[in-house]
Amino acid sequence: MRKHILTTIALALGLGLTASAQSFLENSQVNGSFQTDAQYYMRDNGIDINDLYGKKMGINGFGKVNYTNGNFTAGMRFEAFLPEMNGFRQELNGVGLANFFASYDNGFIGMTVGDIYDQFGCGFVFRTYEEWSLGMDNALRGARVVLRPTQGVTLKGVYGRQRFFWYPYLERDMGAEEYRGIVRGVDAEWDLNQSIPAMNDTKFKMSVGGSFVSKKQEDMSLFYYIPENVGAAAGRIRLGYGNWAFSTEYAYKINDPSAINNFIYKEGRAILSSLSYSQKGFGAVLQVKRIDNMSFKSMYTGKQNDLDINFIPPINYTHTHSLPSMYTYSTQPNGEMAAQLQVNYTIPKGTALGGKYGTKLAFNFSQVNDIIRDSVIDHGNMVINKPGTLGYSSPFFGVSDHRFFRDINFEVDKKISQKWHLTAQYINLYYDIETIEGHAGAPVVQANIGFLDVTYKLNRKQSLRLELQGLWEKEVHAGYEYEESEKKDYQKRGDWAFALLEYTITPHWSFSIADKWNYGNPVEEYRDHYFTGTVSYTHEATRIMLTAGRQSEGVVCVGGVCRTVPASSGVMLTVSTAF
């Protein structure tokens, strides 16, 4: 009898264990991705690459693996820059485990330890993210707690130190130059529609949120008193009624002298508001933004995008074709006033202008100006933007005459028949190259840009695509004799023409040739051709792409994927896969 019971228990235990082990295994999921971009550089006197400085190759690679089991997830990303490709920051050079994390989330509470990517609202006070194609990663290494006490309410807390290339995280390992502060933040969001039953399905939508983030940094400066705790707060609201939507976010930061803001002791402010209307076939959105002294880094000596705690979203249109994306605006954290309007409209099918498939139209206007800066009285002296002072005062609604950027564009997208598809766009661009790219003294870029993108389907599997683009710049310094030292500022100036022919066989192959020609450069020796040939093979989630030729700075889209590339000459291989 006892023996039988024991046998039964043993059997049950054994089975139970096998069962739980089996269900454990069954619930285990592993997925990941790999990518390697390798570039072999060649000298090319034609485009002024006379010296490779001992760097014949650049390889950027990563491998990422995630493990999931029910509510538990863990992952890691291994990176190798041996050395980094041209155009990426030299500090990336190295190899190692760049990112790892473990998290548990049961819907009520979520905990993550390790490297965290998150954002509060639109990112005005906190956003950590990773962008492989830019070599950008400001992950927060630390801990995060997410609480969802009731439907529609989300509370978050984060704490940690940000990634800064390969510099070690421990304080004692760092010299004064690389000192990083601790970042901590809390955020709350309340979605009324999800939390109040009576509002679940109303036409009226509303959610509110607020966040507070502070950094604790050590004052290492010999010249200034650096505040050791800097706080920033933001509040946001989102409203919707039927086809209308409105959202706004406002952020405030206490004085935070840094290398970026010229060590002034002024508070920072930011606001972004959006109003949109959309119904089937028509959508319009208007956005306005004001940024005043909002650079927020966990290291006050940081430059460029180093250790950014926050993110200031540029709101202008993002171009993806080669010539239109040559002059891309980047946010000026010290101050900007921006507005943009975008309208999308589809002329319905079956009308005279719509034809059989409808015609898609898009219009975008965006402009960015500087803010107004007035002098302030500091210790009895009138000062403006002087290091160690209150800096300046700025009227909230004031717009400076100094225009940084303007883009007016109009696009038509039309499927003409089963075989023909056409996209055309006209762009009128104003780009203050001196402010945006830091070329002191360089005249403003004013250009008309147009492109035509035509696809012809040969049959079910094969198609041809032709892109013709032109960029016509308002004449810069015509007939002027350039000094050698000045010439570098005219690398990509003047008129351009671009043509691309692509032949694709679904689902695997794409072959293309392209030429980009700076035929109207004001400096005669810069009137170069950038000729490239590309072959790409795609099998499900695996891509292999080989490009040979010259590449100028910009964004290139071939075979359906876009990436940014720096100027170079040589051969490039990209291999990526996901599983």
Partner 1 sequence: MKKLMTLLLMAFVCVGLHAQSKTDLPNVTIKNMDGKDVNIATLNNNGKPIVLTFWATWCGPCIKEHNALNDVYEDWQNETGVKIYAVSIDDSRSTAKVKPVVEGKGWEFEILLDVNSDLKRAMNVSNPPHTFLFDGNGKLVYQHTGYIEGSEEELYEEILKYAKKK
The residues in 417-446 that bind partner 1, with binding defined as CB under 8 A, are 421
The answer to whether 86 and 59 have CB atoms below 8 angstroms apart is no
Would you count residue 343 as binding partner 1 (CB under 8 A)? yes
**Near partner 1 by CB under 8 A: residue from 36, 59, 68, 83:** 68
Collapsing DSSP states into helix, strand and coil, what is residue 263? coil
Site for partner 1 in 104-133 (CB under 8 A): 105, 107, 117-119, 121-123, 127, 129, 132-133
* Residue 356, CA distances (Å) to 301, 347, 424 in order: 59, 11, 19
Site for partner 1 in 304-323 (CB under 8 A): 311, 313-315, 318, 320-321
Q: For residue 103, give the nearest of 148, 64, 132, 144 by alpha carbon.
A: 144
**Near partner 1 by CB under 8 A: residue from 90, 483, 507, 524:** 507
- The one-character DSSP state at 559 is T
**Near partner 1 by CB under 8 A: residue from 5, 222, 352, 478:** 5
* Side-chain half-sphere CA neighbours of 42 within 13 A: 10
Would you count residue 569 as binding partner 1 (CB under 8 A)? no
Question: And the tokens for 392?
Answer: 């300046």
Would you count residue 557 as binding partner 1 (CB under 8 A)? yes
The nearest distance, CB 483 to partner 1, in angstroms, is 39
**Near partner 1 by CB under 8 A: residue from 136, 254, 284, 383:** 284
Site for partner 1 in 6-65 (CB under 8 A): 8, 11-12, 15-16, 19-20, 22-23, 26-27, 29, 31-33, 35, 64
**Near partner 1 by CB under 8 A: residue from 44, 178, 413, 553:** 413
Query: Which DSSP string corresponds to 124-183?
Result: SS-B--EEGGGTEE--EEEEEEEE--STTEEEEEEEEEE--TT--SSGGG--GGG---EE
The nearest distance, CB 89 to partner 1, in angstroms, is 20
Would you count residue 71 as binding partner 1 (CB under 8 A)? yes
The nearest distance, CB 352 to partner 1, in angstroms, is 18
Residue type, 97: L
For 349-416, the three-class secondary structure string (H helix, E strand, C coil) is CCCCCCCCCCEEEEEEEEEEECCCCECEEECCEEECCCCCCCCCECCCCCCCCCEEEEEEEEEEEEEC
Would you count residue 393 as binding partner 1 (CB under 8 A)? no
The answer to whether 79 and 65 have CB atoms below 8 angstroms apart is no
Would you count residue 289 as binding partner 1 (CB under 8 A)? no
Looking up tokens 């430059």 gives 303
Site for partner 1 in 255-274 (CB under 8 A): 272, 274
Site for partner 1 in 354-383 (CB under 8 A): 357-358, 360, 362
The whole-angstrom separation of Cα 365 and Cα 317 is: 8
Site for partner 1 in 203-232 (CB under 8 A): 205, 207
Task: State residue 333 phi and psi, 5-degree precision.
Answer: -65, -20
Would you count residue 561 as binding partner 1 (CB under 8 A)? yes
Of 289 and 297, which has the nearer Cβ to partner 1?
289
